[in-house]
Amino acid sequence: MKVLLFAVLAVLACACGSSIGDECSQSTDCSQEGDRICDPASPGGYCTQEGCDFGTCPGEATCVRFFPVTQLTMSSCVPGEEPSACNLDEICVVGGYCAPRSTERRFCMKKCGGNGDCRKGYECRDEERMALHGGEPVPDPDEPATTERELQSFCASALPCRSDLDCDLGDTCDLSAVRCEQR
């Protein structure tokens, strides 16, 4: 009986993988099957899946597209509005910026409803924070493009800081985490 119980517990332990958004130092910390990677550039590492699409992330996550900040150009575009104020090879992202489509990178990011759902040093990015710090959920291809879609919030690293001056207006610098926190 003890042998059977030990065997069942061993199988269950092997079947468990780290969730999207968990801390990691290498990809095997996230999954033994190789279906998740560790993003070591994020504070404490971040278990994720790269190259996702709408509806392909695990239940605790949403697919988010990111564009390099250096590639964004200021525009008066409105996401989902046609015709867009962006060039044909660009997309209008949250915040009213045009971004080259070719620079898009997608990752599964942990869903959240507030900062308490995210690890220390991470923020729950709602639409306002997406406009400030980047990233936005990949839209459902079966729904018409509209400016009135509700965006799923996700956990992403907060801005690094050394003082309140490094943070967005209204945020404070948590010196123990060296990250900006929402008040």
Q: pLDDT digit string (tens) for 99-158?
A: 999 999 999 999 999 989 999 889 999 998 998 889 999 998 888 765 567 899 999 998
pTM above 0.85, yes or no: no
Q: What pLDDT shows up at residue 3? A: 44
Please give the residue that has the higher pLDDT: either 16 or 133: 133
The per-residue pLDDT for 144 is 72
Residue 177's pLDDT band, with cuts at 50, 70 and 90, is confident
Residue type at 59 in one-letter notation = G
106 close to 51: Cβ distance less than 8 angstroms? yes
Q: Rg for the chain (alpha carbons), in Å?
A: 19
Return the pLDDT at 13. Answer: 40
Q: How far apart are CA 165 and CA 172, in angstroms?
A: 8
